[in-house]
Structure formats: structure tokens, C-alpha cells
Structure 1
Amino acid sequence: MTRLVVIGNGMVGSRFTADLLAADHAGRYTIDHFSAEAGHPYNRVLLSDVVSGTRDFSAIGMPQASDPRLTVHPGVAVTAIDREDRVVVTGDGRRTRYDQLVLATGARARVPALDGLTCSGDLPRGVRTLRTIDDARGLTAACVNARRAVVLGAGVLGLEVACGLARRGVRVTIVHPKATMMERQLDATAGSALTATLRELAIEVRPGIAARGVLLDADDAVRAVTLADGTHVPCDVLVIAAGAMPDIALAKRAGLATDRGVVVSEMLQSPSDGRVFAIGDCAQPPEGGSGLVAQGWSQARRLIARLTGAAPAPDAPAADDIVRLKAPGLDVVTMGVCGVARPDLPGHRRLSVSDPGIGRHIELVLHDGALVGATCVGAGRLATQLLTTYSLRTPLPSDPLALLLDRSAFAGGASATTTAGVVCKCNSVTHDHLEKAIDGGARDLDALADRTRAGTGCGSCRDDLCALLASRTQAVTPVKAI
């Protein structure tokens, strides 16, 4: 038997363990799985939905594998790795041997250096991040008595949190150091359309200005954020949404090669120790890390194939260039070539329709007869069609302007997705897989999730899943969120 230790029981670590046990037909592996968090694994991507109240905590839980070959250690943090003796050491001094070790320690919230705020240790009362389920519980509890909140950072997470807090009746101000919100995905014009929609939601926006510090009261509770221009923004709650950093502390203490993340080869193996592997947000493979769960699940599949000698399942088309905001009241979808720093390559053509005053902006980027990028703010139905065209590389109509004017202009119309194409990019689930599951008796979202795992990642495909169920079954029975 091969003794395998897995550290980290998040979305990638838990999926890796479950799939390895299913693929290990020879019964070669016994697994000890350690998790610093005490509960079952959960969908971290959907934490902002919990904050907004559109899902409850029970709706984001993920299954924990159960097998005689598996021992799970919830709430037990590994504090050291003794690579010479091939042992992991926990906080209570317990030592567990391994033949192979998989690091799936994920990432931690980045806390910027601000006057009055330390980057390590406990945060002052009222200052929150959103990376764990405990963070979500603390933030929702803080909303009960909060009147004003500041969200630091207007990336995807920051905007989702801001809209969630506003939905709970909290007055929200977004502070963002860049002139354009979501600058990786939006340009200035698209950002203006987004700003208009946020103001309709009574969310104040302070773009192009950095936070300098926090003001605390006598009880060390946050009372205001100080900006670089010297102004103060009062708040009872400060949510820091300034990105994440791979959690590499354990790997560094063990002497493994690290950079931004734990350095690994194409086969997810550490160059410092052939018995150690890393997957998910903590890993730094040659192609770099996207921070998206689809990449981590792809890495898990590849590593399982290596460990079991099986052929890896093919990945879906890359999902790391598609962003769909999950925020109540906001409708933003981007794909491919987009954002402030987008390349201006020869042969690229751009078509756009923009009315920032009402919160709408649509831009298409075309090259060699294909859609290579799109930005949609305030145009949800069109965005869904564009996603299909982009993902399947569907041929464009002779006059691409028709894409902005007539839904029937899409090659094959709505039926283009009924026989091909990936619906759930996080899990590489195609329409064919979904139709087979429906024909096999899946009649609601929960059943589809159980049979195909569709919708258990970022959740952005849920509308498409409902539409497919409705078209195949004529009615969808209301069920709990997946």
C-alpha cells in the first residue's frame, strides 16, 4: 500500500481525494486527509452569494468522500513537514507518515499595508475578508447592526460583496485604487456603464484613489477609512477584497521551492522532492496560476492520472478567460480579449454599442472571422448567446453587426448548443452529457449536479441548466440551490 497524505480539504483537495479513490481500482492507496477547517468542504466561490442572502450556508456544502481507505482529520492543522523522515506534524504534535504528499493548501486573503492595520495577526473588530466560511458567517453577522460599509477593492469579489451588503440594507462605498473597476476585464467605457448601475443600487463609488489607513475607536473597532486625498469614509464594517495570495508558508518551512506559489512541474511535482505534489491555488505550474477552480480541478485530474497510470480525462476549452459576475443587480460578462490592458493586435476589429448612462455597454472583438473577445454590461441575454459563439468558435454571420442586433444571426441559433459545446466549464460538462443525464432520469438541478457535477463550480451556468431542463422536461421542479 502507498500512504498518501493530502493537506487541504477545499474545493480542489476534496475533489482530488474523492476522484483518486474512485480511480484507484487496484486499492493501492490509503489516504490521510488533513483540514485546518473543522467542517465539511464547501464551495468557496459561492461565499459572496451567502453574504447577499441569495443562498444559505447549507446550499454551498460539498460532499466528503467516504471510504475504508480514507481517514479525514477535520480541524487538524499540519504545522510542519519532515521530508527526511517523510512525516507531517500537526499542531498537537501528532506525526503521520507518508510515501507521497499532496499540498492543496489554497490561498489566503491579501491584506494590504494600511496605517492602523497590521498585515498579520487578528484584524480589528469590523474589518473583514471573505475567503472562508467563517469569514462569511462573521460578515453576515456584522451586517445585522452595521449601517455603513466600505469595500476595499472593485474586482470581481469586491463588487459581489458590495452588492450583497447593499441587498442586506447596508449603505456601501467602494474604494478602488484604479480609475476603472474590474480593470482586468473592463475598459474605461465599460467601467462607466458599471458605475451607473452601481449608483442606481445606491452604492457609492470612489475610483482612482487608494486607501491610506483605517481609523479605530477606543475599543479597536473600525470607524472610518482614510483615503490618499485625506478624506475619511465612515463605516462600521470594512471588507478587504484586495486579492489573494497562495498559502505557501508550510511549503517554505519544509524547504520546498516556492515563488509566488509552490513551484511544480507540468506533472505537478515539486523539483525539490519527487514525493511531493501541489495542486490548486497554492501551486505554481509552468503556465502560471489563474486562481480559478477549473484549473485546480484540471490539475487534480492530471495528478490522479499520473498516480494511477490512467489516461487523463480531456479538459474543456479554457475557462480562465471568461468572467461572469454573480452580484444582485449587476449583469457583467466578459470573455477573451477585454480590459484596460487588452492587446491591440493587427487584424482585430471592434464593434460596440454603448450607453453608459443607463448602464449598458457591449463590445465585440473579431479576428479572422471568429469572436475572440466580448464585453457585456447590462446585456444578459445577449451575453449568453455570445458565450456560446465564443466557446464553440461558431462561424460569424457575413455582417457581424447582426450579432448586436438580431439573436437569430448566431449560426445555428439557440439550437447550436443542443448537441455540442461545454455548458459547465468548471467541470467540463457538455450538452451531450447533460442530455444523457436528463434522459436517464435527472429532472432537476440537484439531480444534474449529482450525476454530472454541473453547476457545482462558479454557478454561472445555472441559468443554462434551467433552460435545458425546461426544454427537455417542459417543467423544472423548484429545488434548493446547488
Structure 2
Amino acid sequence: MSRNTDWQRICAVDDILPDTGVCALVEGRQIAIFRLRADDSLHAIDQYDPCSGVNVLARGIVGDVDGERVVASPIYKQHFSLTTGRCLEAPEHSVCAWPVRAMDGAVWLRPEPKRCFLPQPVSKREPEDLVVIGNGMAGMRVVEELLEMAPDQYRITVFGAEPRGNYNRIQLSPVLAGDKQAADIELHSREWYADKGITLHAGDAVLRIDRVRRRVCAASGLEVPYDRLLLATGSTPFMPPIDGLAKRGVTRFRDLDDVDRMITASADHGRAVVIGGGLLGLEAASGLAARGMQVEVVHLMDRLMERQLDHPAAAMLRDTLAARGITTHLEAQTEAVLGGDRVEGVRLADGREIAADLVVVAAGIKPNTALAEAAGLRCERGVLVNDTLCSSDPRIYAVGECVQHRGATYGLVAPLYEQASVCARQLAGVSGSGYAPSTLGTQLKISGVELYSAGVVSPQPGDEDLVMQDARAGIYKRVVLRDNRIAGVVLFGDARDGNWYFEQMRDGVDISAMRSQLLFGPEYCAAA
């Protein structure tokens, strides 16, 4: 296979039906890609079945054998692990597994095999103790992949501050809007942990890490030793210095408990103020409006989603939200939350007052480094990690929103899952490439609003700016060019070509020949 190890777009996620596979030809090699219904995850292994000598695995039946996700060959029915490629019945016939992910509605594969399958040694050594602090999506993805790579290498203990199993945090918005129930976004039930031999301490936060004695100390008084420690403490909401945030009726938008409070408030009250006009704030505002509340958004900056949108796209988004009954106040600073014991409204710095029965603070997030800092680990904005996701202590790894890697912190799920794969390989002792983040696009999770943004939002001196706007149709497209290559894209109202623009930007394609057709999408550019 070629040495090219860049991520390659295979197809749209929706092109693969749940619990089925497709075959992709990647640099001359047939690879079977599967999509699982249970968690909408993607897996890729060789299409070639070494037991039958035929390229057939994409046509196999997807299932579960003793908790391991597998595909059964349609020929001789051997089972192959979807994560490691291990043949359960005949390990000597194992196949390669490949890194695969979903991004912006598309399936992406990196043509560099995951050397994941570890044949069991002849003499098994005593398992080491792995303690995971954080029961969220990033930490548990590490555990999932580690169990499939090296199921007997560790005794695993998981501590979570929330009194429940793991759930899909990025699906909180549909739960708030009433499109989904909390049970619909559960990823791992308590039974799953028990079945996997994992000790779960839910609702028992770790308060201290003793690096000298290699133990963690929990709020309950429990102390647990570790040989390896994984920090997945996530992030905490940024709470601006506003008087009155301790009043009843003020909440964050970060977990299921926050969503429960907001749903209860929407049933009993009618007016809400959301502080923050970024991604999270607008999703909260949309969800509350869907539940019948009168919603007003207070945003400090001069436009909504200023990190992802330019002024014209932000203005169109503001008009779209207004049509749904959501009022926005720009360049507005919240000075105080009004009321006695319970919130009655907010006062802005210019003296205006807005009545409210519920105030949602969605002013951003910051990495949760408190535990790491107290333990003496190197931290800046986040817990500092290298390309293997190892911290300044070689026994302690960190993944997710709590980390800082090469000066950057992360809040989107795709890079967190990439970190998890790298970290799992390191813990399993499997060789592979380190974590190298890629540019990602942004989409707003509000029903009926098409929005896509990636790369540069505002052109720099020397950049070219291609813009198309149809105000009546509610469509806006902006492509920023730098040295005849796409440096950024903003799409509103029609975001179907977002993935294609992203591919051109990521691959550094010279667009000189199709420049005049670029705003009209791939079909017109193909004919250029």
C-alpha cells in the first residue's frame, strides 16, 4: 500500500445503512467499512477473508460475541473483531484494522493499519491497575478500544462525578428540544461495566491524586491504587463575573441534570434568557423555544458565533432565529441577575432589564485542570500532553477537553475520539502514529438550520474573497482563497457541499482552473 497516510473521504455516512458494511477500494486495497446501529460508530477491517480466500467481509453479518463487536464471514462464518481484526476462531488468520471516523456527515479513513491485535502471551502476567478519572465520551472511548486490543492487560476502575453511566453529551440539545429522551443517548449502562469486569464508581468524584503512593482519593473516602492513570476530566463551563448567578433558576448547559432543570423550568415558566450566542448557547435557546418558552439571547460580541461566522452569515442566522421567536441582543454585557431568592430577570450594562424566569449561562468552556494542577502535573490552559497523550508524569495519560496538545485545546468530539485511539494503543503497548490533529468543520445542531464553517472566517491581507448571497432564498456562501487554495469556507442555508469544500482545503488543491465555478459546488467545478 502507498505511504500516503492522510485521511481520505470514502462516502457519506448515510450511504452505509446501520449494522451493514460497504467495500471501499483505498490505494488498491479493498477495505470493509461497517456502521453500527447501537452507537452509530464506524469500524474498518480488511475486506479479504483469509479463511475462504475471498473478498467478502463487507457482506458479513454484524453482531456481538461475548461483548466484542464482530462481523461473521458469509463463507465459513468465522468471526472477526471490528476493532482489531482478530479472528476469534483462528487468530493466525486475523486481518488488519484501519482508522476510520465520521466527520461532517462523511466517512473518512486513514490508510495506515492499526496494529491492534495482540496475541495472548504464552505465560500471562498479572493485570495492572488502570484507573480512569472521568466517565465521559473521551475516557470511555479509550476503555472501549483498550478492551478490544488487550482485554486482559488491566483491571479497570472508573470514577465519574455524575451518578449514571456514560452518555452522548453532544446529543443533549435534541433531549432539551424534546426530540430524544435521556435513555436514547445512553452509551454504556451500568450493566455494561459489570459485564466487562469494570468497577464503576458513579457519583463519586476523585478529589486528590497521590502520585508518590500512586493512589486516587475519592469524595467517599475510597482510595484506589493505580499502575496507570487516565485523566478524562473534561471541561467546566466558564461563569462570567455576574452578580446573582447563585439564584434559583440560573443554570448551565453541560449535562443531563442541567437539561432536567431547563425542561422543568420550561413546563412551569415562560421566559428565558441565554447568556452566550455561541454554538452551545444557540442550541440551548432553540431547545427552550421548541418547548414553548419566550427566549432572548444576550451576546457580548457584535455577531452570533463570531468564531465560526462572518457578519453576513451571522446576520442571516439572527434573522432565522428571530423568525422562530428568539430575540438576540448583540454587544450586550450582562451585569446582574435580578430577583430575590429566585431569578426574575437580568440587567445589562447599559441599564436595560430583561424579564426572565430562567437564565442559562453558555458563555464558553475551559479545560478542567484542577485535579491535575493539584497533583503537580504540568498545565497551562489544559493538561499538557505529548503526541502519545502522556502527561508530564509517564504513568499518567490524559484525553479529551481537559488536555492541551501543541498549544491547542479541543471541544469537538472527532479530535477527542482520535486522541482516544492513540491513547488506547499506548496503554496496550501497540505501536502506531501519535496524535496529529486536523482542521475540522463546524455545524450547528438546530433542526432546519443549515450552517457549515471551516478554516479562516475573515480574510487576511493578500487573501481573495469569493462571495455569493441570495437573500430571498436565504443562502450565503463565502470561500476565502490564499495562494489559489481554499483557506476557509462559510455556508448558510445550503451546506450540502461543505464536506467537498473541506476536502479541497485539507488537501491543498490548487483551484485556479475552477475558480469561476467554485461557489457553485463540485458538479460545476468538475466540468471546468
TM-score, length-normalised on structure 1? 0.77
Pick the aligned partner of 2:307 from 184, 200, 206: 184
Shift in Å at residue 178 of structure 1?
A: 0.5
Query: Does the residue aligned with 1:269 lie in a helix, a strand or coil?
Result: coil
Pick from 11, 16, 26 the counterpart of residue 142 of structure 2: 16
Aligned partner of 1:35 in structure 2 is 160
Contact 2:388/2:434 (<8 A) preserved: no
Are residues 288 and 316 of structure 1, via their aligned partners in 2, closer, same or farther at CA, if it must alter by over 3 Å? closer
Q: TM-score, normalised by structure 2?
A: 0.71
Rounded Cα–Cα distance in structure 2 between residues aligned with 1:412 and 1:158: 41
- Correspondence for 2:401: 281
| Contact 1:194/1:359 (<8 A) preserved | no
Q: Find the counterpart in structure 2 of residue 70 from structure 1.
A: 198
Post-superposition CA distance 1:31-73 (Å, at most 9, x none): 1111111211111111112111222212211135545552222
Q: Does 1:114 align with 2:242?
A: yes
What one-letter code is carried by the residue in structure 1 that aligns with 2:316?
A
Deviation for aligned residue 1:93 = 1.1
Query: Structure 2 CA distance, aligned partners of 1:402 and 1:316?
Result: 33
Structure 1 residues 4 and 54 mapped into 2: Cα distance closer, same or farther (>3 Å)? same
Name 1:221's counterpart in structure 2: 342
CA–CA distance in 1 between the matches of 2:429 and 2:284? 43
Aligned twin of 1:401: 516
Of 391, 395, 398, the match for 1:270 = 391
Find the aligned partners of 2:481 and 2:226 in 1 and give their Cα distance: 52
Question: Is structure 2 residue 202 aligned with structure 1 residue 58?
Answer: no
Higher normalized strand content (fraction of residues): 2
Secondary structure of 1:54 counterpart = coil
TM-fit CA distance, 1:390 = 4.5
Indicate the structure (1 or 2) with the bigger Cα radius of gyration. 2
For the 8 Å contact 2:459–2:465, the answer to whether it is kept is no
Task: Tell me the amino acid that sits aligned with residue 494 of structure 2.
Answer: A
Paired with 2:461 and 2:336, the residues of 1 have a C-alpha distance of: 40
Given the alignment of the two structures, is residue 361 of structure 1 paired with residue 476 of structure 2, yes or no? yes
CA distance in 2, matches of 1:313, 1:146: 53
* Displacement of 1:13: 0.9
Aligned mates of 2:361, 2:405 — CA distance in 1: 27
Deviation (angstroms), 1:19: 0.9
The size of the alignment, in residue pairs, is: 399
C-alpha separation in 2, matches of 1:412 and 1:55: 43
User: Structure 1 vs Structure 2: percent identity of aligned residues?
Assistant: 37
Matches within 5 A, 1:15-164: 15-24=141-150, 27-63=152-188, 66=193, 69-117=197-245, 123-164=246-287
CA deviation string 1:374-431 (max 9, x = no partner): 1111123344554555456666483433233466214399xxxxxxxxxxxxxxxxxx
SS at match of 1:270: coil
Query: Could you report, residue by residue, the CA deviation over 1:188-225 in whole angstroms, capped at 9, with x for unpaired residues?
Result: 222222222122112111001111111023xx111111
User: What is the identity, as a one-letter code, of the residue corresponding to 1:176?
Assistant: H
* Residues 222 and 235 in structure 1, CA contact (< 8 A), matched pair in contact too: yes
Task: Give the one of 133, 145, 151 matched to 1:7.
Answer: 133
Find the aligned partners of 1:369 and 1:286 in 2 and give their Cα distance: 28
1:275-314 matches, within 5 Å, as 275-312=395-432
Q: Distance in 2 between matches of 1:57 and 1:88?
A: 30
TM-aligned CA distance change 1:275 to 1:407, over 3 Å? closer
Alignment gaps of 5+ in structure 1: 118-122, 414-482
Shift of 1:314: 8.6
- Which residue in 2 is equivalent to 1:323? 442
Greater RCO, CA 8 A, separation 6+: 1
How many angstroms apart in 2 are the aligned matches of 1:222 and 1:138? 14
| 1:181 positional shift | 1.0
The 1:74/1:115 distance shift into structure 2, 3 A limit, reads closer
Q: CA deviation at 1:336?
A: 1.5
Q: Are the equivalent residues in 1 in contact too, given 2:422–2:435 (CA < 8 A)?
A: no
Counterpart amino acid of residue 174 in structure 2: D
User: Does the C-alpha gap of structure 1 residues 312 and 356 become closer, same or farther in structure 2, counting only changes over 3 Å?
Assistant: farther
* Alignment partners' CA distance in 1, 2:171 and 2:296: 22
| Structure-to-structure mapping, 1:380-391, within 5 angstroms | 380-383=495-498, 385-387=500-502, 389-390=504-505
Distance 1:407 1:297 in 2: 29
Kept in 2, the 8 Å contact 1:148–1:234? The answer is yes
Counterpart of 1:469 in structure 2 is: none
Give the drift of 1:166.
1.3
Which one-letter code corresponds to 1:61 in the other structure? E
Aligned: 1:258 with 2:386: no
Q: CA deviation at 1:87?
A: 1.0
Distance 2:237 2:168 in 1: 16
1:237/1:99 CA distance change after superposition, 3 Å = same
CA spacing shift, 1:23–1:313, aligned 2, 3 Å = farther
Within 1, Cα distance between the matches of 2:196 and 2:183?
Answer: 26
Q: 1:384 to 1:197 in 2, by over 3 A?
A: farther
In structure 1, C-alpha distance between the alignment counterparts of 2:498 and 2:229, rounded to whole Å: 42
* Residues 394, 411 of structure 1: 8 Å contact kept: no
- Letter paired with 1:291: G
- The counterpart of 2:492, out of the listed 374, 377, 387, is 377
Residue 380 of structure 1: SS of its match in structure 2?
Answer: coil
Cα distance change of structure 1 residues 54 and 213 upon mapping to structure 2, 3 Å threshold: same
Q: Is the 8 A contact 1:180 1:188 kept in 2?
A: yes
How far apart, in 2, do the equivalents of 1:408 and 1:208 lie? 40
Match for residue 344 of structure 1? 460
In structure 2, the residue corresponding to 1:62 is in which secondary structure? strand
- 1:397, 1:411 within 8 Å by CA — same for their partners in 2? no
Gap runs ≥5 in structure 2: 1-126
Deviations 1:261-288 (A, max 9, x none): 22223322222x2211211111122242
In structure 1, the residue corresponding to 2:417 is in which secondary structure?
helix
